[in-house]
Amino acid sequence: MKSLLQIDNINKYYGTKNNITKALNHVSFQVEEGEFLGIMGSSGSGKTTLLNSIATIHHVTSGHIYLGDRDITALKSEELAEFRMENLGFIFQDFNLLDNFTLEENIGLALTLRGVPKKKIKSKVVEAANRLGIQNELKKMPTEVSGGQNQRCACARAIINEPKLLLADEPTGALDSHSAQMLLECFESLNQEMKATILMVTHDVFSASYCGRILFLKDGKIFNEIHRGNKSRRDFFQEILDVVTLMGGEVSDGR
């Protein structure tokens, strides 16, 4: 496999000299194309800072992040919006859908803004909605469907442009366990069938058990890394739980 994302010795400090927080402290790792990577760690361990640095929302204090051959820490501010639109798909805990737009309009919004012909948008929206199992909800508003359907709509919106990297920040955090499982099964099939590369921040052990590899952050550093390999999801779940217990962090086991 080829390395898609390379995090090269990044530091992110907040505050000033006398009151400095090292949110990320010499973090390095790579993500291969087609990987489903989980980032875990207790609150304050640096997960959001890491995700936002990869999302080009934060500037790192030092170090480099490469997506393919491109050093994204060197992007100029006027290049950021286009870079994100072309390369990244975002899924947030609270969906971030536009309430006055139908699911169909929400999913196709990025393409509409780019002036893609309506017919093409329609076929792409329908294809994405089919993948996420929300094809019958397209004419409804976000307030007329369940949280799980809203999150799968957000996921369809994120994949519409076939981004190189899907970034998910606690995507199951606002969902009941059944909806969470449906979403995670969608992630799994996007990863296996479309070879989508997914980076998911979570503190939920059940969600993490769908990943192929997990990095554990503690105090801004990578504390541990485990691979699912050929293990069953149930065995991987137990392994994750053991690491989390060892770290003494506060996490949920999703039940």
CA 66, CA 5: separation in Å to the nearest integer?
A: 6
Select 48 or 172, whichever has its Cβ closest to ligand ADP: 48
Least Å distance, CB 58 to ligand ADP, is 9
Q: How far is the CB of 89 from ligand ADP (least distance, A)?
A: 20
In sequence order, what are the residues at sequence separation of 6 or more whose Cβ sits closer than 8 angstroms to the Cβ of residue 10?
24, 26, 27, 28, 53, 60, 61, 62, 63, 64, 65, 73
| Long-range contacts of 224-230, Cβ-Cβ distance < 8 Å, separation of 24 or more | 225/29
User: Which residues make beta-bridge pairs with 30?
Assistant: 6
Cα end-to-end distance, the chain, whole Å: 34
Backbone angles phi, psi at 76, to 5 degrees: -80, 155
Measuring CA to CA, how many Å separate 166 from each of 18, 55, 93, 118, 215? 37, 10, 14, 25, 17
| Minimum gap (Å) between residue 62 Cβ and ligand ADP | 16
- Whole-number minimum distance, CB 167 to ligand ADP, in Å? 13
**For ligand ADP, which is the closer residue by CB, 105 or 169?**
169
Pair 206, 44: CB distance under 8 Å: no
**One-letter amino acid for residue 243 of the chain:** V
Whose Cβ is closer to ligand ADP: residue 46's or residue 142's? 46
**Closer to ligand ADP at the Cβ: 25 or 146?**
25
Shortest Cβ 225–ligand ADP spacing (Å): 17
Which residues bind to ligand ADP, rule: CB under 6 A?
A: 14-15, 21, 23, 41, 43-49
Closer CB to ligand ADP, 49 or 106, in the complex: 49
- 159: three-class secondary structure by DSSP: helix
Q: How far is the CB of 96 from ligand ADP (least distance, A)?
A: 17
Nearest CB to ligand ADP, comparing residues 10 and 160: 10
